[in-house]
Amino acid sequence: MRGTVIRQTWDSLGHVDSTEVIPAAGVNAGMAERLRSEGLLGGGSLGMPDRAVRVGESWSDSTSRTVSDAAGKRTLRAWVTYRLDSVEHNGAHRVAVVSSQMTISADALGASASGKGRGAGSYRLDLDAGQLLAASTDVTMDISANTVKGSSRAHTAIDLLGPQ
């Protein structure tokens, strides 16, 4: 994936408006399309509150979407609690540090499969420039399909590489 360029625009509350993926040489076109359709955070956006919050305050958001992959169609639902941990200064810019705790459920459409998971995230936002500087998420899922059970873990890290 190194060298793949991903550009996203987000609305003022942190929901993704659009995603463009320019894959690096040798990157599978299917993977590039999956990144485009599911977004950088696995389909989740950083849900910002519609009100001002102080350091230490929390807010909640939820999302639901249908994804298709080799296992078929699944409905993913996530409930997220965010917390403004601190506001730091980087030169003249204010940088918000936000953490999240997430509960995930996945149900396959037309099949007897399901999944439950938990996640944690960390985000750094330049409040003055209006851009995400960095994000990381760790997600653990337990999955059941008929008589087969399994689990998965995923770590995603995003860093802004330069001025946009």
Query: Can you tell me the distance from the alpha carbon of 67 to that of 53, in angstroms, rounded to the nearest whole number?
Result: 33
Q: What is the mean pLDDT of residues 109-119?
A: 75
Higher pLDDT pick, 8 / 120: 120
Domain assignments of the chain as residue spans, ordered by start: 5-50+59-159
pLDDT in tens, 2-13: 677 777 776 766
Higher pLDDT pick, 38 / 10: 10
Determine contact, residues 85/95, Cβ cutoff 8 Å.
no
71 contact partners, CB below 8 Å, separation of at least 6:
108, 113, 145
Higher pLDDT pick, 54 / 8: 54
In the three-class reduction of DSSP (H, G, I as helix; E, B as strand; rest coil), residue 156 is classed as strand
Kindly list the distances between the CA atom of residue 63 and the CA atoms of 6, 42, 104, in Å, as whole numbers in the listed order: 22, 12, 10
